[in-house]
Chain A
Amino acid sequence: EAGVTQFPSHSVIEKGQTVTLRCDPISGHDNLYWYRRVMGKEIKFLLHFVKESKQDESGMPNNRFLAERTGGTYSTLKVQPAELEDSGVYFCASSQDGRLGGYTFGSGTRLTVV
């Protein structure tokens, strides 16, 4: 089966601009998660979708971040306007039945805000 696909793989934008990251989960996976790793820190949870609904968005840092999941398929994470501290690697993961922790991760999008 195809894995979790994320694009772009890299993005360099200027402070104040808008960036949209996309994630295509494994087909049939109802659960979709966004995580990010800021330089030198651990991977941190952002939010969790079950189909098109946000199950848990407790990790979203502020209202500059907007996540959507159209029709319960792919998901986008928009950062508007981007700040320097948003730089990092954004990972998407999916799972079929919400099995604890047994996610399949994508390769991530490396975001650099300059």
Chain B
Amino acid sequence: EDQVTQSPEALRLQEGESSSLNCSYTVSGLRGLFWYRQDPGKGPEFLFTLYSAGEEKEKERLKATLTKKESFLHITAPKPEDSATYLCAVQFSGGYQKVTFGTGTKLQVIP
């Protein structure tokens, strides 16, 4: 069964303290891996798509990387406005367009 596991469940950082979030997956043929950000009371907001091992994407203080078994979301010098839940999702071959989500990492950045 396809699974997506995110760690840690929660992360508290001081402003400017860089860190990484992990997303590991077991799928029978990865078609794509996606990162979303979700704020309280809102729907997930799309950040990145990664398709193959070795691929990297960047946006402001966020950088996503992908290996054959996991993805990392690196947050460099975070600010309080980066506080949110970060969700990882995967799409596998043969699954049409549906994606499987992880449970997310709740990030809190303290000023």
Bound: A58/B94 CA distance, A: 12
Other-chain residue from B43, B98, B100 in contact with A107 (beta carbon distance below 8 A): B43
Given contacts A42-B104, A107-B41, contact A100 B98 (CB under 8 A): no
A48-B97, A56-B96, A108-B43 as given contacts; A42 in contact with B34, CB under 8 Å: no
Q: How many residues of A contact B (CB 8 A)?
A: 28
Rounded to whole Å, the gap between the CB of B38 and the closest CB of chain A is 9
The answer to whether B44 and A100 have CB atoms under 8 Å apart is: no
Contact call A45/B46, Cβ cutoff below 8 A? no
Which A residues are CB-close (under 8 A) to B45? 105
With A101-B89, A102-B34 already in contact, the answer to whether A56 and B43 are too (CB < 8 A) is no
Asked if A21 is an interface residue, CB under 8 A from chain B, the answer is no
Nearest CB in chain A: distance from B23 CB, A: 12
Question: Contact at A106–B103, with CB atoms within 8 Å?
Answer: no
| Set B43, B91, B95: member contacting A105, Cβ < 8 A | B43
Residues of B within 8 A of A (CB): 4, 31-34, 36, 41-46, 49, 51, 87, 89, 91, 95-104
21 A–B pairs (Cβ distance < 8 Å), ordered by A: A31-B97, A41-B103, A42-B101, A42-B102, A42-B104, A43-B44, A43-B89, A43-B101, A45-B98, A45-B100, A48-B98, A56-B96, A56-B98, A100-B31, A100-B34, A100-B99, A101-B46, A101-B89, A101-B91, A105-B46, A106-B43
